Chains A and B, each alone.
Chain A
Amino acid sequence: MLAKIYSAAVYGVDAYEVEVEVNGAHGEPKIFVVGLPDTAVKESRDRVTTAINNSGYHWPRGRTTVNLAPADIKKEGPSFDLPIALGMIAVTEEIDTKTFAEFSFVGELALDGAVRPVKGVLPVAIEARKRGKRALFVPEANAHEAAMVDKIDIYGVANLRQTFEFLRGQQPMHPTRGDMTKFFATHQSYNVDFSDVKGQAHVKRAVEVAVAGGHNILMIGPPGSGKSMLSKRIATIIPPMSLEEAIETTKIHSIAGMLDGERSFVSTRPFRSPHHQRHRFVRRRRVSDAGRSESGAQRRFVSR
């Protein structure tokens, strides 16, 4: 018995589709995960089986192979838990997974079967739409972030049981709706303004010139003269981002796991202010997992 479930993973700022194949065969009860999984993916075996048991289902009691295709790209992170679990249940319950082909799933599982939030659902949603999927299932906490993509239904799921019952038509669920264009149009304001800065007319002029030409600027002055205050307000005088720019920026923030329900879309120009002491342990982390992970590399470089 073979089950095939679709998922997606992030590579760089874009996502690619991953086919999760689960095969149940006779033989010694053992589970193999193949397709260049990292430790977090290999461990999903234990999370998934426990979550399945605790949700009141069974996992295949035989030699089970889980394949993540394409097999030549390194898979990482726990976001394949949900599709793997669904595949296993489908195998034991002998359900035809052909109808699942128009869906895509991402989500980490807790041992009790609850679905935990994952990073980078926005690029995943964009990829799913590109692949012509009808719906994408994401953790409930990520639903608003993913719902910014239109022409695809986004279902925020709370646990494994709910997801499976919905797929079998036993329980209705409503897709989360978000309107990117509308959100973008209404969330354009900043809570700081240039008029907060008193005096310093010639500095303001220099800042204006810098922004107008996209020049970099260096401010030199004694403490408390308003350098930081001015800098924080620079984003407010750059012309607003176009929708494409905003999507691109949001994708990066989505991968870094910096979006939540309230702030599900980056509609204003970001202002990043890394602290200089920060770099010391950024570097330490860089050494510790050098060469290992893609998203690890991203995390290090985005310097919060």
Chain B
Amino acid sequence: MSLAHNGVLFLDELPEFKRSALEVMRQPLEDGRVTISRAAGSLTFPAEFMLVAAMNPCPCGYFGDLKRECRCSPVQVQRYRQRVSGPLLDRIDLHIEVPAVEYRDVASERVEENSEAIRARVRKAREVQQQRFAADPKTNCNARMAAKQLKQHSKLGADSQELIRIAMSELNLSARAYDRILKVSRTIADLGGKIDISSEHVSEAIQYRTFDRTLWV
């Protein structure tokens, strides 16, 4: 885990990981450190990384796919998803569905945006955040905001409040999901160079909670 320090830790096929292996990741996710205690003493390694996880929607992989049929029974699907624990999911701010690629996309000659252009935008957003958290050495990005900071930096307008209220009751979102949505909205606003969070930002952030919404049926 420490080897991904300052980088990306990618867990492919998330539900295939041993539950115990995933649960030990909760501490490093919270405070960016791995502490190992052995008879010989305890050691701390820095482990500040961005967790990227990927999974199939069901064991066969085609649940919800428009073109191929899924071969799994509802129980199988449910069991597969339950292997990822709720507390871990709670620590993942964004959930996104990746549909199968369309033929016209694969074959297209259209030039896609390169990393450099995206990185430039990301850097700008990060600079905004660094200024915001300049006084607090513990926080360096929106994802690490504490509850108090969140309140201070993510004020919502009346329409956004209303939107989030409807979303919460319609989609049965938890209080923690609410916090996550606020954080992500803050980031989206930063990316757009906006000081205030508008309803567009909030609605985009709500989209990134797929897992809370559709999947646990």
Contact = CB atoms under 8 A, between A and B. Distances in A.
A234 B50 contact: yes
A172 interface: no
Contacts of A234: 8, 10, 50, 52
Contacts of B68: 222
A283 B24 CA distance: 12
Nearest to A270: B7
Residue from the set B36, B111, B215 with the largest chain A CB neighbour count within 10 Å: B36
Interface string B84-95: 000001011111
A6 B6 CA distance: 33
Contacts of A279: 17-18, 21
Contacts of A193: 114-115
A277 B12 CA distance: 11
A239 B123 contact: yes
A226 B98 contact: yes
B143 to A, nearest CB: 4
A291 B39 contact: yes
Contacts of A196: 112
Nearest to A242: B6
A203 B16 CA distance: 23
Contact of B3 (A230, A246, A302): A302
Contacts of B12: 227-228, 231, 273, 275-276
Given A206-B208, A213-B190, A272-B3, A223 B61 contact: yes
A215 B129 CA distance: 13
A199 interface: yes
Interface string A264-284: 000001111111110110110
Contacts of B57: 220-222
Interface in A66-99: 74
B184 A216 contact: no
A158 interface: no
A292 B21 CA distance: 21
Nearest to A190: B115
B45 A219 contact: no
B41 A198 contact: no
Interface of B: 1-14, 16-18, 20-21, 29, 34, 36, 38-41, 43-46, 49-57, 61-62, 65, 68, 89, 91-102, 105-106, 108, 110-115, 118-119, 121-123, 125-126, 129, 140-144, 183-184, 186-188, 190-191, 204, 208, 210-211, 215
Sorted nearest first, the 8 A-B pairs with minimum C-beta distance are: A199-B105, A213-B187, A221-B98, A291-B39, A214-B141, A270-B7, A215-B93, A213-B142
Given A215-B184, A283-B18, 11 more contacts: A74-B41, A197-B112, A199-B102, A206-B96, A209-B94, A213-B186, A217-B52, A228-B54, A231-B12, A252-B46, A297-B36
26 contacts: A13-B45, A190-B115, A194-B113, A195-B112, A198-B101, A198-B112, A204-B118, A206-B94, A206-B96, A212-B122, A212-B190, A216-B92, A217-B94, A218-B92, A222-B57, A222-B99, A223-B61, A231-B12, A234-B50, A235-B8, A269-B6, A270-B7, A279-B17, A290-B39, A291-B38, A298-B2
